[in-house]
Homo-oligomer: A and B are copies of this chain.
Amino acid sequence: MSAERAFVDSLKALASDPAARGLVDDCAVLEIGGETLVLTHDMLVEGVHVPMGADPADVAWKLVACNLSDLAAKGARPLGVLVGHMLGGDDARFAEGLGEVLSRYGVPLLGGDTVSGQAPRSWGLTAVGRATYRPVPSRAGAQPGDAVWITGPVGAAMIGFEGLRDRTGGDSTAYRRPAPRLAEGEALAPLASAMMDVSDGLLLDASRMAEASGVTFAIDSAAVPIAAPEARRADALRWGDDYELLATLPAGVEPPFEAWRIGEVLPQGEAPLLLDGEPPEGSLGYEHG
């Protein structure tokens, strides 16, 4: 983490505000021709973000989905993607998965690059979207008095991952093929004071959003929907890869679809996050990475 932090700090020093925003806030925002473009770039590395030996079709799916999820958190509609693919293994299977996820979300493949390499391999993807609402939601706008909402349960990816790891034969779809909440992001963008996707764990991402907004989030753990046994609730709140959207909405405003109110925004206190009234102990989630 310290290497990454130092590097990102160096990058931030390079970038002028608000251009630096992409390095803090997952997406870059670019005004052009009266439109607002949202751009995001994520890399996946074998053995870090996807298991060694993962089905290349699942790698392609996750590569696209995690970037589309970043667009979803901005209320942006995807215009296309550019893929960086390291050849080797089963490239045809990678192309198959890429075709599936792009077709599922109606996103064109605009271009990209193929390179030779060797394990552990890596892939990169840039997704470009058009903002459907301006200003584009950031993670820095939460206000005291807002309510904290989540678009769906956490823990499904954890259960899927464990099923794969332990070869239980359980359904691992949620882990292998996450679903970006594009429609939900568009619907929330005009309503939310802050929004982000939950990729690194609910508590960690909530803590980051609270810090970025200069407030404290009070989360009610029992109110969080989980897709895991009750005994795993604490883990589910800390596991990533679910790609639900976390949003703060002014009091009295409700999402126009089923969503869960999991807490409220308080003025900035000593800790950015309270879980059932106390700062949570131990790891809050997945630190990149």
Asked if B111 contacts A41 (CB within 8 A), the reply is yes
Give the docked Cα–Cα distance between A48 and B126 (Å): 22
Distance between A101 CB and nearest chain B CB, rounded to angstroms: 10
Asked if B22 contacts A115 (CB within 8 A), the reply is no
Interface residue ranges of A174-194 to B (CB < 8 Å): none
Residue A283 CB within 8 A of the other chain? no
Interface residue ranges of A143-182 to B (CB < 8 Å): none
Across-interface contacts of A83 in B (CB, < 8 A): 11, 41
Across-interface contacts of A23 in B (CB, < 8 A): 109, 111-112
Asked if A110 contacts B289 (CB within 8 A), the reply is no
Size category, A interface: 35 or more
Residue A92 CB within 8 A of the other chain? yes
A43 touching B87 in the complex, CB below 8 Å, given contacts A30-B79, A95-B11, A98-B14: no
Distance between A96 CB and nearest chain B CB, rounded to angstroms: 8
Distance between A139 CB and nearest chain B CB, rounded to angstroms: 14
Asked if A33 contacts B30 (CB within 8 A), the reply is no
Q: Which of A116-124, A220-228, A239-247 contacts B (4 or more CB under 8 A)?
A: A116-124
Instruction: Give the contacting residue for A10; candidates B86, B91, B288; CB below 8 A.
Output: B91
Sample of 8 further A-B pairs with CB below 8 A, known A28-B110, A33-B33, A115-B289: A10-B99, A33-B34, A33-B35, A41-B124, A41-B126, A84-B124, A86-B122, A114-B288
